[in-house]
A = this chain, B = another copy of it.
Amino acid sequence: MGYELTVEGLRDLAEGAAVLGTGGGGDPYIGRLLVEQQLHAGRGIRVIGVDELPDDALVLPSAMMGAPTVFVEKAPSGAGNVIALRALERHLGRTAAATMPIECGGINSMMPLLLGAQTGLPVVDADGMGRAFPELQMETFAVYGVPGSPMSIASDHGDSGIIDAVDNRRMERLARAMTVEMGGAAYICDYPMDAATVRRTAIPGTLSLAMKLGAALRVARAEHADPFERLSEALAGTIYTHGIVLFTGKVVDVDRRTTGGFARGTVTLAANDDPADEMVITFQNEHLIARRGGRVAAIVPDLICTLNSETGRPVTTEALAYGQRLAVYAISTPGLMRTPEALACFGPEAFGLSEPYVPVEQLTGEPSPSPA
């Protein structure tokens, strides 16, 4: 079931993960380069299914924390990755059997792969969001009862720490404060859990799905096909069910600031055929809500992706710029992310939005998929 990651697979994965990153999760280029270096140095990376570990095997998810805008200004070296893993292993008095992403994204799908290459640990094909979210408590792990603490945090400078918070929200705030002090970017290992718990709480197969989406975009470009049709075909039959182009237009305004450890702001697009027809997307690292003429077009936790309208390449929130021609592509989030418990954790209200959650396929009047 498991497989060794190839350089081509990695490139597809990085691009597909950035699509699932919904504008966040960091620049796919930076994360990919770090992992590619490892592959070229002859280090292998084994991706394994959630079923390939014994129930009691310790899985330590790994990620980078911080504002993606910071990664652009100073690329991470990757050194803190192993420091964070070893700090948590030492604290727990146990050795990890595998690592795993906590989210999909250009950086955060890559960091566990980097850690796998650095340490020889296999990487579980699953994560805690099936997309990207800006805060650590916004994980299916948290929704379904896994404590995020104790977690470890480390910087490329060699500083490290352990945080043992009373709840996952406090953990996020304490880790965010450390991240800001570490320069706006830090390596973390959190939600330590056994493989049985991974099987119960994670979104399965998201590394492979990202690879499939990235491959679809690559092939579409080679064949001069419509990348969005190809993405939707690749999603059909998966737990994501719908992929829909909501809007196509030009970026006419970007309001973005890095504050409190996040990249926050809005991007405004004007339609190609009617400049008065605008879509405004609000983001906190990731895109949260897309409004068209004041009406909600898509809202968290459904995925709102900003992609180059010609090539389908994902454009992350820190890379948005005036004049870009983008398609806003929405993906329906998996059912595990739409339960009342899940919406309480990362639905619109968790981001201070007053609009209720309505599934994107209802908002756009898409037909339901035929039951599998």
Contacts and interface: CB of A to CB of B under 8 A. Distances in A.
A200 interface: no
A178 interface: yes
B161 A161 contact: yes
Contact of A164 (B87, B164, B180): B87
Q: Of residues A162, A165, A173, A180, which shows the largest number of chain B Cβ atoms within 10 Å of its Cβ?
A: A162
B166 A174 contact: no
Q: How many identical chains are in the complex?
A: 2
Interface string A129-166: 00000000000000000000000000001111111111
B159 A166 contact: yes
Nearest to A164: B160
A180 B161 CA distance: 16
Nearest to A157: B166
Nearest to A90: B91
A159 B163 CA distance: 8
Contacts of A180: 177
Contacts of A173: 181
Contacts of A199: none
A176 B178 CA distance: 9
Nearest to A149: B159
Contacts of A182: 174
A256 interface: no
Given A174-B182, A177-B181, A178-B177, A161 B159 contact: no
A170 interface: yes
Contact of A91 (B158, B162, B163, B181): B162
Interface string A279-309: 0000000000000000000000000000000
A159 B162 CA distance: 11
Contacts of A160: 163-164
A204 B268 CA distance: 65
Contact of A174 (B164, B170, B181): B181
17 contacts: A91-B162, A157-B170, A158-B166, A159-B163, A159-B165, A159-B166, A161-B161, A161-B162, A161-B163, A161-B174, A162-B162, A174-B178, A174-B182, A176-B181, A177-B177, A177-B178, A178-B178
Interface pairs A-B: 6 shortest CB-CB: A177-B181, A162-B162, A177-B177, A158-B166, A161-B163, A159-B165
Given A91-B162, A159-B163, A161-B163, 18 more contacts: A91-B91, A157-B170, A159-B164, A159-B166, A159-B170, A160-B163, A160-B164, A161-B162, A162-B162, A173-B181, A174-B178, A174-B181, A174-B182, A176-B181, A177-B177, A177-B178, A177-B180, A178-B178
